[in-house]
Amino acid sequence: MSADDPLLLSESKEVQERFSEMIDETLSAVFESFSDDSAFSGIDPYELREKVNSLGFLPEKGKGFEAVLEDVKRDILPHLLRTWSTKYMPHLHSPVLTETICSELIISCFNDSMDSWDQGPAATELEESMVHGLVRLFGFPEETSDGCFTSGGSQSNISAIIAARDWFCTERFGWDVKMNGLPPEYSKLRIYTSEISHFSMDKASHILGMGYAAVRKIPVDDRCRIDVDAFGRMLEEDVAAGLIPFCAVATFGTTDFGSIDDAKGMRELCDRYGMHLHADAAYGSGLIMSERYRERISAIALCDSLTVDFHKMFLLPISCSAIIVRDRELLKCFELHADYLNREEDEEDGYINLVGKSMQTTRRFDALKVYMAFQTRGSEGFGRIIDTAVGNASYFYGRISEDPAFIAPVEPEMSSVVFALEGGDDLNKRVRRQLLSEGTVIGQTVKDGRVMLKFTLLNPNLGPSQIDGIIARIKEIGAGLS
């Protein structure tokens, strides 16, 4: 290992100068790893696997930073996905705002942890401040609401369903799950969610010991939104059969279609049956920044809990999410005092220990990314980003819905468009693979048993002319393969 490689950051000027050089060298390697606007090198998976495996695992003696960076520069960086490319559009996997890359450097340098105040003093206070701001932003009552940052939408959704389960068992059965485990009625509990909702609802039911069978999938209409009448019938039939509904999930932006459920109609049914209503707005929460489109998710304020993902429409680095709850008491299901970590006497003296609100113990200071992005761009800047994304989806849908070469089954409410070329499943699969080999990455899914292609348009640098170019290339490839 080179003697120039500092072990840790310190007050030493020599260390700081060398670390600055390492950062500069790393940035140069990133910039030199691509020379065009493609999203991917197009390398074959077997060739890439061979390159990566040849790098080795753990040498007896370290090679030093410079040598390792050369290996990464040669075999890794050229074949990473370039999420900033306007030719990358398969998933809810966004490019990232430049200021948030800088925030990641700060987070990594200091490595504060969010479990106890003495592991992240300013970090703790900023997360609390940002959570309170999010409560206001989404229209939750300030005097009762709370939340915390999480690792992603799945953790936020699972946390919400755990909290709903514990609340319901206390309210309905007078049973403390945290102290006594599962109540005798547990096998009868049911969760209700869209048939095209995120799979984390099934994961949550598995983790909670109820299994996938406890998740009741509600049919959707032709816009891929929950059929509220069908939901009502399911509840009536299940209760008559002796089952116990405790939680429903309204999706604000389904993964494939960007469809937004009727949370107002779901709220009425949840109130009738004494259920918790969770908003999975991991995707759609970004619409809150748009004056033009925020009304589409206004019913979020009617829900009991909310999942927000910042690494989707907000364009922040992975991972960054939050759970917000209408009643802060819901998060007490995660509270447990440990003598070494979150002593009660510390909290009495004003030291906030966030571990009591989270499934996790150690957590990163992700709130800094949100703070720096919000302060840098403001609501106006974020509004432009969101309006561009939704507008691009509308433009693309308008183009292909008028073209007989395409099938476009669902008009987008957000920034995802599902479509296919006429010609069958195999043709559409081959088109996607051909585009991938050329450095354009698009998505693939299934609707009504048919293979569909998908654009998830999150990149604010994308414009109509580039969309037209991709449409033309898809048609050209399709014609050549037909």
End-to-end CA distance of the chain: 56
Using alpha carbons, select from 320, 284, 271 the residue that is nearest to residue 194: 284
Provide mean pLDDT across the span 313-341.
Answer: 89
pLDDT at residue 152 is higher than 80: yes
Digit-coded pLDDT (tens) for 21-41? 999 999 999 999 999 999 999
CB atoms within 10 A of CB 89: 26
As a whole-number percent, the residues of the chain with pLDDT over 70 amount to: 97
Provide mean pLDDT across the span 405-433.
Answer: 96
Asked whether the beta carbons of 262 and 226 are under 8 A apart, the reply is yes
Provide mean pLDDT across the span 423-428.
Answer: 96
The mean pLDDT of the chain is 95
Q: What is the pLDDT of residue 1?
A: 47
Euclidean distance between CA atoms 196 and 138, whole angstroms:
24
Asked whether the beta carbons of 243 and 188 are under 8 A apart, the reply is yes
Percent helix, percent strand, percent coil in the chain, to nearest 5: 50, 15, 35
Q: What is the pLDDT of residue 199?
A: 86
> pTM here?
0.94
Q: What is the pLDDT of residue 355?
A: 87
Answer with the residue of higher pLDDT: 425 or 200: 425
In three-state secondary structure terms, 207 is: helix
pLDDT at residue 396 is higher than 70: yes
pLDDT at residue 3 is higher than 90: no
Q: What is the pLDDT of residue 239?
A: 98
Provide mean pLDDT across the span 462-468.
Answer: 96
- One-letter amino acid for residue 463 of the chain: G
Euclidean distance between CA atoms 474 and 468, whole angstroms:
10
Provide mean pLDDT across the span 434-454.
Answer: 96
Give the pLDDT band of residue 351 (cuts 50, 70, 90).
Answer: confident
pLDDT at residue 340 is higher than 60: no
Provide mean pLDDT across the span 307-323.
Answer: 97
Of 204-208, 248-252, 336-340, give the range with the top mean pLDDT: 248-252
pLDDT at residue 337 is higher than 70: no
In three-state secondary structure terms, 17 is: helix
Q: What is the pLDDT of residue 5?
A: 83
Provide mean pLDDT across the span 426-448.
Answer: 96
Burial class from Cβ neighbours inside 10 Å (0-12, 13-18, 19+) for residue 386 reads buried
Q: What is the pLDDT of residue 350?
A: 81
- Dihedral sign of CA atoms 106, 109, 113, 119 in order: negative
pLDDT at residue 300 is higher than 80: yes
Q: What is the pLDDT of residue 342?
A: 59
Asked whether the beta carbons of 270 and 234 are under 8 A apart, the reply is no
Give the pLDDT band of residue 349 (cuts 50, 70, 90).
Answer: confident
Residue 260 pairs with which residues in a beta bridge? 252
Angle at 275 between CA 269 and CA 279, to 5 degrees: 85
Digit-coded pLDDT (tens) for 253-269? 999 999 999 999 999 99
Q: What is the pLDDT of residue 343?
A: 61
pLDDT at residue 475 is higher than 60: yes
Digit-coded pLDDT (tens) for 89-143? 999 999 999 999 999 999 999 999 999 888 999 999 999 999 999 999 999 999 9
CB atoms within 10 A of CB 265: 18
**110 phi, psi to nearest 5 deg:** -85, -30
